[in-house]
Amino acid sequence: MSPFLTVVCLACLAVLLLSGALTMVRLTIGPQAADRAIALDTITMMFIGVICLLCMLWNSDIYFDAVWILTLVGFLGSAAVARYLERGRLFR
């Protein structure tokens, strides 16, 4: 991995962590449940980005399975919150 790409990856990692911190603020103060569900969804996305960046930095693909599994199940949290808001309960 070239030094240029290492610098770019580290800078992107820093910005992603900063965005995660900002989203965490919304997760804390969000006035209602839907705001928190959206913030949690976004934090999952940022976590996927961080895993991709770490795979590139460490030059190994052993964590890459986590990426596509997280894209597959990451939306279930907000789907569950939506169902709860609509019906008032999760399961009948």
Partner 1 sequence: MMPSLFDLTVAVPLLLGTFLTFVTSLGLLRFPDVYCRMHAAGKAGTLGVCLIIFAAVIFFAPAGPSVPIRGLLAIVFQFLTTPAATHLLARAAYLAQYPLTDRTEIDELEAYLGAYVRERYGKE
Write down the least CB distance from residue 49 to partner 1, Å: 4
Give the footprint of partner 1 on residues 19-48 (CB under 8 A). Answer: 19-20, 22-23, 25-26, 32, 34-35, 37-39, 41-42, 45-46, 48
Minimum distance, C-beta of residue 86 to partner 1, in the bound complex (Å):
4
Structure tokens, 46: 């940022």
**Is 58 among the residues that bind partner 1 (CB under 8 A)?**
no
Q: Residue 47: which residues within 8 A CB-CB, separation 6 or more?
A: 20, 70
Sign of CA dihedral 34, 36, 41, 46: positive
Q: Contacts with partner 1 in 59-88 (CB under 8 A)? A: 61, 64-65, 67-68, 71-72, 74-75, 78-79, 81-83, 85-86
CB contact at 8 A, 39 and 30:
yes
